[in-house]
Structure 1
């Protein structure tokens, strides 16, 4: 009977058990006695009431001259100190903040077994009071409204201040309205901070409401917070760390035209946000890498780059150039200045993506403007090597002398004068200096150098091949009159067999065959420009080979692209964990279980009573059914064992046949 009842009422029994377990075990752990309960006071009692309650408890507990240290005594003293401090009491009443609760266990363990008078009072360090009261850049509700939703992110720090990441500010908990807006909310509608203080809240770019701001729940270290802000909030890339083996591959594969920026760190911290932003802004001119500096590898880095201490920043043009090393920490403005200097001072490389910008494409226009009819592109071509690196330095000095004139350092050093024709062309942006990687751009190089191409173009055929960098100038003349079109007698032949390109400018090529002396090169450039501007040459256009597109090399990793599915799953699991943790603290769960148990018990009981009531005597329908059932049972017992011919029922459509001798025939 008991087993049948248990089977029938298993659901309400389980709900009753869960309800009582939640109310008696789970809920008390989620809501331990408050400090007001320790003193026997109601919630939010005044400071005066706290003092009176403490005096009354002290007179009872300290009836002995010097009682031994117990947990109860320490809790009473701790509650008194916390609730008589206006700032701590405010934070505890409004947000439930009690960051020094560990003091109770610490004091009990330290002074256990001794008398209470030996405890160093006060228990709570009062020097923490007002720690952030004078912090700069405090935010008010009006200031937050004016800042959020802009293109720059906002990092709000509750209880601490972190500079140099984005727009930053601190919210004082005394500003209850704003602090409550930024806090999380319990089921009891009380605002709270899940991990206490300090707490970090970030508004991503263009975020202007509470539905899109992000809370930081990671480790509280400068490196971790900066990485979270730069990667997750601003969306800047992570710059990868390299070992000594992978760094060599990075230098080789990151592009010969790019400056290699190698940052040495001793602690392994992530790249600062301004370095990450530079990796995006200068991705066409530079590649970035980080290296963890180890004492065992000191000699390697000293011999390779000249690094003698960390932090250090190495700027390397190519493997054949002397690197520039900066020792010490760099600020954002200093780093940007160095990058701009390299961008301006480095000779640009002629590539498929830069030919139009440099004005070195017949289908494009001059850097001086679309109205310029005549312009020039000087190209230094050769294989990568020490000779090519030295020649690039020479061409940089040539360009520097033409840009600065007789006042340049090199001009004063060699006592040389700068021709006005070439200097004017450079200042007007009609003359562009660039270099071409002959190893990669074989067809383009071969087309312009003709029979001399093997000295500078294509891969080396033998190890002892001599590399000879060469210089040539292309003069471009824009097709502006019909006379030029008519004068081009080969136009019909080219349009038919080489393809029509009506926008192409006329091109004439001049090759330099002199020495690598700067003054001689400048004189040759000036002579070419003077003749190109004053003399009339046949108008001739042709289609030059396309520049080979260089593969782009990824120098960083986007945080969204590292492990997107795994990161998404981790965030969802963490969100589910927080939801379950908050659900356990909901005081409505226990009563809901008990209510469900009562309703299910009542439902089962009513169904059972209805079945019993339907089976009680006095009902005509029930009596007639019972009588029919009894008659059938007696009939089955009486006919049991008799032949089937006697017990067979007569079919409905059967009839009796008359005998042949009857009177009816």
Structure 2
């Protein structure tokens, strides 16, 4: 993986006023290097390395090398930059926070993770975050910005999680203890499904440890079926089972409904179904029917997936499978006061022969064209209409799976509606380099142009050059006026001669 190069130019070996400043910045630079470890390649160049220092310096119009803000000077080569023409220079105050924030924003194009108070965390963060995303909250005693590694994780896991910071105050202990179970800082909290107990980790956060924990907890306990997760969950007729490409028959149980307390309650029930199926001892205690073991085996072998669907956002997908008279209670915009979440299961089946021998041919008619447009996996769906008891749901799913595995069912293929992306792209990720980096680049070009003009104005040759230009301009004007006067004077005698004749 190609990384950004981050370099400090120092004058530590020289005895001057600037060397004291470099020495004072040495400890800060060690802290900066530690924070950027794993994110960028760090280096330091002393002024004694003449060729390298000259290569990284700026050049005045007369060709003299210099460092505009003195030394130490901090520069960065963004990923893909191979020459000094595209390097980025830090122009602000040399502090750990300022340098790290500049590097994360202007060079790496990373998002900021904002701090919230106990009053603003609910309405400004929790309420505005997407319901399918895991909420990650950092509690800090110092109020420092999130490290670049954490901010990089916020960018990489943007589709799965959203991040916030909270400044820990002892007088607010009861608020955070009662809300999340946080008893001290530093701490990290993961908020997943509604009604699920927060996952709290106390102690300092190591970057590699945090990335491992984030990867393990990026999904909700009962994952949401989205355009991003459909193939990963095995709930896509254009994809394959989670058990592998060799698995020809698999199942996906989907709970559909509009966001609200009714859906939250049913999601909790489906989580208990999933937990019960995952633990064979609880399964035997929960059900007297031995056939219910079938669902547990299918879940363990990854032939069965449990998920939930936002019926309002994914209305076309929801109506496609719940094609009943009362489906408006579950799918699309809210029309009635009460919402009714519904559970249905889809049986997917692939034809091994068709997957092995695919013949590309052009459609001769509109009917053949539509036939080629269907999804490769056949689908049959069944809706659950009994009580929301864990044992009954498990028994129903087991009966469906056993029936689907043992019977020869119709191979019915259709074109499934596409799942709609539920989040717009963040402003910092639009375009090849991101909108933020483009704005930074434009700002940097304007600043460079102004600096270049300023440098030329400070060039000692500019005075004589301007004087010479003024003299030449004055001379050309004088010459033009002289020529005009001569032409007028020469024309006057000729007119007088003509009058006399």
Give the TM-score taking structure 1 as reference length: 0.55
Residue 242 of structure 2 is aligned to residue 367 of structure 1: yes
Q: State the alpha-carbon separation in 2 of the partners of residues 527 and 170 from structure 1.
A: 68
Q: State the alpha-carbon separation in 2 of the partners of residues 343 and 264 from structure 1.
A: 19
Residue 150 of structure 2 is aligned to residue 275 of structure 1: yes
Q: State the alpha-carbon separation in 2 of the partners of residues 293 and 562 from structure 1.
A: 30
Give, in angstroms, the shift of residue 213 of structure 1. Answer: 1.9
Residue 58 of structure 2 is aligned to residue 179 of structure 1: no
Q: 1:426 aligns with which of 299, 307, 317?
A: 299
Give, in angstroms, the shift of residue 374 of structure 1. Answer: 1.4
Q: State the alpha-carbon separation in 2 of the partners of residues 179 and 428 from structure 1.
A: 61
Residue 87 of structure 2 is aligned to residue 213 of structure 1: yes
Task: Summarize the Cα distance change of 1:476–1:159 in structure 2 as closer, same or farther, 3 Å threshold.
Answer: closer
Aligned to 1:91: 14
1:447-466 residue CA offsets vs partner (Å, 9 max, x unmatched): 54435646644555565x3x
Q: 1:340 aligns with which of 215, 236, 243?
A: 215
1:361-380 residue CA offsets vs partner (Å, 9 max, x unmatched): 43443333444321111112
Q: State the alpha-carbon separation in 2 of the partners of residues 90 and 373 from structure 1.
A: 70
Q: State the alpha-carbon separation in 2 of the partners of residues 158 and 256 from structure 1.
A: 40
Task: Summarize the Cα distance change of 1:365–1:387 in structure 2 as closer, same or farther, 3 Å threshold.
Answer: same
1:208-236 residue CA offsets vs partner (Å, 9 max, x unmatched): 32222222111222222112112222222
Name which of structure 1's ranges 513-522 and 215-224 shifts more when overlaid on structure 2.
513-522
Task: Summarize the Cα distance change of 1:571–1:513 in structure 2 as closer, same or farther, 3 Å threshold.
Answer: closer
Give, in angstroms, the shift of residue 549 of structure 1. Answer: 1.8
Aligned to 1:490: none
Give, in angstroms, the shift of residue 560 of structure 1. Answer: 5.7
Q: 2:106 aligns with which of 232, 236, 239?
A: 232
Q: State the alpha-carbon separation in 2 of the partners of residues 158 and 582 from structure 1.
A: 30
Task: Summarize the Cα distance change of 1:553–1:245 in structure 2 as closer, same or farther, 3 Å threshold.
Answer: farther
Residue 251 of structure 2 is aligned to residue 376 of structure 1: yes
Task: Summarize the Cα distance change of 1:340–1:594 in structure 2 as closer, same or farther, 3 Å threshold.
Answer: closer
Aligned to 2:381: 509
Residue 127 of structure 2 is aligned to residue 256 of structure 1: no
Aligned to 1:119: none
Q: State the alpha-carbon separation in 2 of the partners of residues 99 and 353 from structure 1.
A: 53
Larger Rg: 1
Give, in angstroms, the shift of residue 257 of structure 1. Answer: 1.6
Q: Is the 8 A contact 1:285 1:343 kept in 2?
A: yes
Aligned to 1:527: 399
**What's the RMSD between the two structures over aligned residues?**
4.9
Give, in angstroms, the shift of residue 389 of structure 1. Answer: 3.3
Q: 2:447 aligns with which of 552, 558, 574?
A: 574
1:386-407 residue CA offsets vs partner (Å, 9 max, x unmatched): 453354344345445555x54x
Aligned to 1:285: 160
Q: Is the 8 A contact 1:237 1:556 kept in 2?
A: no
More strand by share: 2
Q: 1:552 aligns with which of 423, 441, 444?
A: 423
Q: State the alpha-carbon separation in 1 of the partners of residues 124 and 12 from structure 2.
A: 60
Q: 2:345 aligns with which of 464, 473, 478?
A: 473
Q: How does 1:317-356 map to 2 (within 5 A)?
A: 317=192, 320-343=195-218, 346-356=221-231
Give, in angstroms, the shift of residue 650 of structure 1. Answer: 7.9
Aligned to 1:204: 78
Q: Is the 8 A contact 2:138 2:165 kept in 1?
A: yes
Give, in angstroms, the shift of residue 505 of structure 1. Answer: 3.5
Q: Is the 8 A contact 1:346 1:396 kept in 2?
A: yes
Q: 1:536 aligns with which of 404, 408, 412?
A: 408
Give, in angstroms, the shift of residue 237 of structure 1. Answer: 3.0
Q: 1:162 aligns with which of 33, 39, 60?
A: 33
Give the TM-score taking structure 2 as reference length: 0.70
Q: Is the 8 A contact 2:427 2:434 kept in 1?
A: no
Q: State the alpha-carbon separation in 2 of the partners of residues 193 and 551 from structure 1.
A: 49
Any stretches of 5+ residues in structure 2 without a counterpart?
1-9, 355-366, 483-489
Q: State the alpha-carbon separation in 2 of the partners of residues 444 and 260 from structure 1.
A: 27
Q: Is the 8 A contact 2:134 2:219 kept in 1?
A: no
